[in-house]
Amino acid sequence: MYRKLSIKEWAVEDRPREKLLSKGTRSLSDAELMAILIGSGNSDESAVELSRRILAMADNNLNELGRKQIGDLLQFKGIGEAKALNIVAALELGRRRKEQTPSEKLKITSSQDAANFFRPFLEDLLIEEFWVLLLNRSNTVIDKFMVSQGGLTGTVIDVRIILKTALEKLSSALILCHNHPSGNARPSDADKNITAKIKNAAEIMEISVLDHIIIAHQQHFSFADEGIL
């Protein structure tokens, strides 16, 4: 009679932990890496098999998995709170790793550069956040900061905070960015109004607003590229 083998009964080279030690991280599939995080499966599945099902819930896309909530993971037999937290924490570390590109060496030359800079911060969020990128005269990044955090459909922007920080950092230009959790990248009338308000106020201080980027899942919208800045 056929009996399913547990991971401990697999050949050594097929066990995720041993495989990682002998062949390195690149040799492991996403499911095998997740199996190391959760440690064990359930009475019907090995950790790898359970991990494959969890990934399937997110269409085998780690970006989509990063958008899932702890409650989504708890629906799987064998995934308790501790294991769910391990998965969420690992995905967050991956996000933060992408965020920590040395900003002082980064030069923004296009809307795509700006979108790529902000995407790790905003792409998977379920609420809106509004960020500002501060640049010097050669469009090299000086700093970044979050202006506000809101709900599903909007956030409140204080223009004075933006200009105060820009002046303190001696920045010559700004790039604005916020996300649309809905996935629709088109700007609302409120987005256009706040952009114009910030641009007009910045001009008094001889600070240029180069662009306003809207991040919406796998796409972005650039005010500059669309000629509405």
User: Whole-angstrom Cα distance, residue 176 to residue 144?
Assistant: 10
CATH code assigned at 156: 3.40.140.10
Global model pTM greater than 0.75: no
**Last residue of a domain, which of 66, 99, 132?**
99
| pLDDT tens-digit readout, 150-185 | 765 556 788 999 999 999 999 999 999 999 998 899
Q: What is the rounded average pLDDT of the residues 86-101? A: 82
Residue 227 lies in a domain: no
Q: What is the rounded average pLDDT of the residues 88-95? A: 89
Same domain, 122 and 77: no
Same domain, 92 and 109: no
The answer to whether 35 and 16 have CB atoms below 8 angstroms apart is yes
Task: Give the pLDDT confidence score for residue 109 in this predicted structure.
Answer: 92
Task: Give the pLDDT confidence score for residue 105 in this predicted structure.
Answer: 63
User: Whole-angstrom Cα distance, residue 155 to residue 164?
Assistant: 19
Residue 23 lies in a domain: yes
* Better pLDDT: 154 or 190: 190
Same domain, 189 and 117: yes
| pLDDT tens-digit readout, 98-123 | 766 554 468 899 999 999 999 888 88
CA-based nearest residue to 131, from 162, 164, 110: 162
